[in-house]
Chain A
Amino acid sequence: MAKRRKTREAAGEMLDGNRSAAVGAKLSRVQVIAAYPITPQTPVTEALSEFVERGELPAQYVNVESEHSALAVCSSASLVGARTFTATSSHGLAYMHEMLHWVAGTRLPVVLACVNRAIGAPWSVLNDQQDSISQRDTGWIQVYAWNNQEILDSVIQAYKIAEATCLPVMVCYDGYVLSHTEMPVDVPPQDAVDRFLPPYKPHTTIEAGNPKNYNLVTLANPRLNADGVLCHGYMEIRYLLQEALEQSTETIAAVGREFGKSFGRSYAGLLWEDGMEDADIAMVAMGSLAMEANVAADSLRKGGIKAGVVGLRIFRPFPKRDLVRVLRGCRLAVVFDKSVSYGNEGAVGNEIKAALYGIDTRVAVRDFIVGLGGRDVKARELADAVKKALASVEGGALSQEKADWICEI
């Protein structure tokens, strides 16, 4: 299991998150880019446009008129066999919703950078993770980066994972917190990336005289083709999508290990862990929030509370097995969610409870909703939340009906 790196090796270039994503796409030698501007994703599209106009990236850049079209362009270009990239945020991702399902159903290795932003109404351009969490059931692999190095590394790995599994990958990172914040990022040389990521060998073909018809109307039950061979019905095709997502955990880990061998930064785990060896209490978060949780855990430990941090790097496929392994020794898991499944609770908290169902030890789970619409999340607030959760567990409550919102109501 990978440990979160607290110190950085030799400092590289100073890049913000958006530049890191764009450089990752360029290093991956993307061939077709289609994107529509939306805050805070715009610098990704501007950087890629510049790479293309300068002749540094021999790609087709399509300035589409909407996000729906952006993903439709990527979908059909990918069917032809091109490596495709798009990026969006918030309402843009919501507008892509139909195409997200379509791309996953077609099993196309499209890579999308989602710069996480709150979703209206009311309007907000600031960060939370409601946009990508709302798309969790579309059949995409979802990666959440916790710093800019991870953004760049994840985009490159995303193509390798996508092309091996025939699944699209969404690389998510927090708007402004990462997208507009510069950090030192080690940019690997092109030849090393080329060795790691060979050109895409498509599983689809479009050629004259071969009447392949992608996504014809498909009946519920299997049906004979013209040669009398029984072919899948809709439900079998959908089962294969689910199976591919489930099995992709191994590919994700293998690609992460190989990345480590090639570039010295391993991503073999679906989770990051910090101080979990002897932890009594796990603080669970996704994206840059896990950095803040690290600070809180350190302060809790100074106060005698043995806290550790679990950062979910992968949200789909949901890393159930890894979470059970890492959380089963804890008395309490405190989950910090930057999204809400309205009418229920935080998405991560809810899914962790489900993952822990039926194991032989009792782990209390407390869910806190934090940071919506860019609300600042302080390490002190996270530490206070842990203390509050701990008090309620010591008061005998294993579970609670509602998530706690860290806000003024």
Chain B
Amino acid sequence: MPRVDAVNLVEKEFLLPGNRLCPGCALSLAYRHILKALEGQAVVTVPASCLTVLHGMYPVTSVTVPCVNTPFASTAASATGLVAGFKAMGRTDLTVVAMAGDGGTHDIGIQALSGAAERHDDFIYICYDNEGYMNTGNQRSGSSPLGAISGTTPLLGKREHQKDIMAVMEAHAVPYLATANACYPLDLYEKVRKARSLQGLRFLHVFTPCPPGWGFPFADTIRIGETAVQTGWNVLYEIEDGVFHLSPPSAAVARKGGPKPVREFTATQGRFSSLGEDKMQELQDWIDARWERYLARAAAGHQ
């Protein structure tokens, strides 16, 4: 597949202008490019989440692909049902896409997701990660970072690190998994396209900055997403059949001497306003250690 650029990107829009997400929401941007990469040949199944809000209120939606809403814990099981139904009916025309937030993936949805991955069910699972329960007004999730203030960690900030969902999914031996970032839409687009060309359970983790939840101005979404990559907060890579590759945006960070201090990322957001020096250092150490692990794997992958 030739690499995509702004010229050969699918022109048709499957997410029409105007939806109910907050201004500056990275999810709109991510979803627009995900649907383009699928060329509309997909059915999406969605749990209670910000994506439900994006899809609108009955009887009006700005999304032009069919959608099956499903209760919070059941995203992956719903996708399995769609796959089984299509197989039973002898249909192969649509790609089944399950798409949930980090709460719906790392926390309440992990049992169904684990089951589907273990069975090698044939669909793409996309977790858009805004690092908290943002649809319900910002509460702590399994993906909220250390030190982040939220509605349920209001004064002290979260006391634990993020759950490493990529490691969890890799342990299921899925054929393809990748991280992406809404603020690098062409990289995201490529990964969805690649996932679409493969079979089995394909897992994508998409970093989606959240202006109200994280406490930054609506206009800064892209800058925040880019800073996340430059500081190693968000590392973009693919693991295909067990082989690890850093993706171009993170490979460029590695080439240019490594990530910037994580402080440059946290300083931009209100959620880290109560982060003390000790927690800051703990975060930095955690990010550094993870970065080294990725670099080692990338080097091994290229041998």
**A and B associate:** yes
Instruction: Indicate if A215 sits at the interface (CB-CB under 8 A).
Output: yes
B residues in contact with A65, CB < 8 Å: 111-112, 114-115, 118
Partner pick for A80 among B42, B61, B67, B86, CB 8 A cutoff: B86
User: Interface digits, B85-129 against A, CB 8 Å rule (1 contact, 0 not)?
Assistant: 111110101100000000000000001101100110000000000
B residues in contact with A31, CB < 8 Å: 85, 88-89
Report the separation of the CA atoms of residues A139 and B246 in the bound assembly, to the nearest whole angstrom: 51
B residues in contact with A72, CB < 8 Å: 70-71, 74, 77-78, 80-81, 112
Instruction: Indicate if B43 sits at the interface (CB-CB under 8 A).
Output: yes
In the complex, chain B residues 51-72 whose Cβ is within 8 Å of any chain A Cβ? 52-53, 55-61, 63-71
Report the separation of the CA atoms of residues A32 and B89 in the bound assembly, to the nearest whole angstrom: 10
Report the separation of the CA atoms of residues A209 and B14 in the bound assembly, to the nearest whole angstrom: 9
Closest approach, in angstroms, between the C-beta of B140 and any C-beta of chain A?
23
Q: Could you tell me if A76 and B81 are in contact, using CB atoms closer than 8 angstroms?
A: yes
Q: Could you tell me if B80 and A206 are in contact, using CB atoms closer than 8 angstroms?
A: no
Chain A, interface size: which category?
Answer: 35 or more
Smallest CB gap from B53: residue in A: A217
Report the separation of the CA atoms of residues A207 and B63 in the bound assembly, to the nearest whole angstrom: 14
User: Interface digits, A310-329 against B, CB 8 Å rule (1 contact, 0 not)?
Assistant: 00000000000000000000
A residues in contact with B60, CB < 8 Å: 223, 225-226
Partner pick for A69 among B89, B94, B112, CB 8 A cutoff: B112
B residues in contact with A78, CB < 8 Å: 81, 85
Q: Knowing A62-B84, A75-B70, A76-B82 are in contact, say whether A206-B61 is a contact too (CB < 8 A).
A: no
B residues in contact with A135, CB < 8 Å: none
Report the separation of the CA atoms of residues A72 and B42 in the bound assembly, to the nearest whole angstrom: 19
Q: Could you tell me if A64 and B84 are in contact, using CB atoms closer than 8 angstroms?
A: no
Instruction: Indicate if B79 sits at the interface (CB-CB under 8 A).
Output: yes
Instruction: Indicate if A309 sits at the interface (CB-CB under 8 A).
Output: no
Instruction: Indicate if A34 sits at the interface (CB-CB under 8 A).
Output: yes
A residues in contact with B86, CB < 8 Å: 80
Q: Could you tell me if A60 and B71 are in contact, using CB atoms closer than 8 angstroms?
A: no
Instruction: Indicate if B73 sits at the interface (CB-CB under 8 A).
Output: yes
Q: Could you tell me if B67 and A213 are in contact, using CB atoms closer than 8 angstroms?
A: yes
Closest approach, in angstroms, between the C-beta of B51 and any C-beta of chain A?
11
Partner pick for B87 among A60, A210, A226, CB 8 A cutoff: A60
Closest approach, in angstroms, between the C-beta of A163 and any C-beta of chain B?
15
Q: Knowing A69-B74, A208-B94, A211-B66 are in contact, say whether A75-B58 is a contact too (CB < 8 A).
A: no
Closest approach, in angstroms, between the C-beta of A106 and any C-beta of chain B?
9
A residues in contact with B73, CB < 8 Å: 68, 98
Instruction: Indicate if A27 sits at the interface (CB-CB under 8 A).
Output: no
B residues in contact with A77, CB < 8 Å: 81-82, 84-85, 88
Q: Could you tell me if B81 and A75 are in contact, using CB atoms closer than 8 angstroms?
A: yes
A residues in contact with B76, CB < 8 Å: 69
Partner pick for A209 among B40, B55, B82, CB 8 A cutoff: B40
The count of residues in chain B whose C-beta lies closer than 8 Å to any C-beta of chain A is 47
B residues in contact with A98, CB < 8 Å: 71, 73
Instruction: Indicate if B28 sits at the interface (CB-CB under 8 A).
Output: no
Instruction: Indicate if B150 sits at the interface (CB-CB under 8 A).
Output: no
Instruction: Indicate if B231 sits at the interface (CB-CB under 8 A).
Output: no
Partner pick for B69 among A59, A206, A207, A215, CB 8 A cutoff: A215
Instruction: Indicate if A66 sits at the interface (CB-CB under 8 A).
Output: yes
Q: Which of B67, B76, B80 has most A Cβ within 10 Å? A: B80
Instruction: Indicate if A218 sits at the interface (CB-CB under 8 A).
Output: yes
Report the separation of the CA atoms of residues A208 and B92 in the bound assembly, to the nearest whole angstrom: 12
A residues in contact with B74, CB < 8 Å: 68-69, 72, 99
B residues in contact with A218, CB < 8 Å: 57-58
Instruction: Indicate if A214 sits at the interface (CB-CB under 8 A).
Output: yes
Q: Knowing A99-B71, A206-B94 are in contact, say whether A212-B66 is a contact too (CB < 8 A).
A: yes
Q: Knowing A31-B88, A76-B45 are in contact, say whether A213-B77 is a contact too (CB < 8 A).
A: no
Instruction: Indicate if A348 sits at the interface (CB-CB under 8 A).
Output: no
User: Interface digits, B132-152 against A, CB 8 Å rule (1 contact, 0 not)?
Assistant: 000000000000000000000
Q: Could you tell me if B115 and A79 are in contact, using CB atoms closer than 8 angstroms?
A: no
B residues in contact with A209, CB < 8 Å: 40, 64
Instruction: Indicate if B41 sits at the interface (CB-CB under 8 A).
Output: yes
Q: Could you tell me if B89 and A81 are in contact, using CB atoms closer than 8 angstroms?
A: yes
Q: Could you tell me if B81 and A216 are in contact, using CB atoms closer than 8 angstroms?
A: no
Smallest CB gap from B74: residue in A: A72
Q: Knowing A65-B115, A82-B89 are in contact, say whether A213-B55 is a contact too (CB < 8 A).
A: yes
Known contacts A65-B112, A80-B91, A225-B60; 14 additional CB pairs below 8 A are A32-B88, A64-B77, A65-B115, A72-B81, A76-B80, A82-B88, A102-B71, A206-B68, A208-B93, A211-B67, A213-B63, A213-B67, A225-B59, A226-B59
- Residue pairs across A and B with Cβ atoms less than 8 A apart, 22 shown, are A31-B88, A31-B89, A32-B85, A62-B80, A62-B81, A62-B119, A64-B77, A69-B80, A72-B77, A74-B81, A76-B77, A76-B82, A77-B81, A82-B89, A99-B71, A207-B66, A207-B93, A211-B67, A216-B56, A216-B57, A216-B61, A217-B58
Chain A residues with CB under 8 Å of chain B are 31-32, 34, 59-60, 62-66, 68-70, 72-82, 84, 98-99, 102, 206-219, 223-226, 231
The 10 closest A-B pairs by CB, nearest first: A80-B85, A76-B81, A65-B115, A69-B77, A77-B85, A72-B77, A72-B74, A31-B88, A73-B81, A225-B59
Chain B residues with CB under 8 Å of chain A are 40-43, 45, 52-53, 55-61, 63-71, 73-74, 76-82, 84-89, 91, 93-94, 111-112, 114-115, 118-119
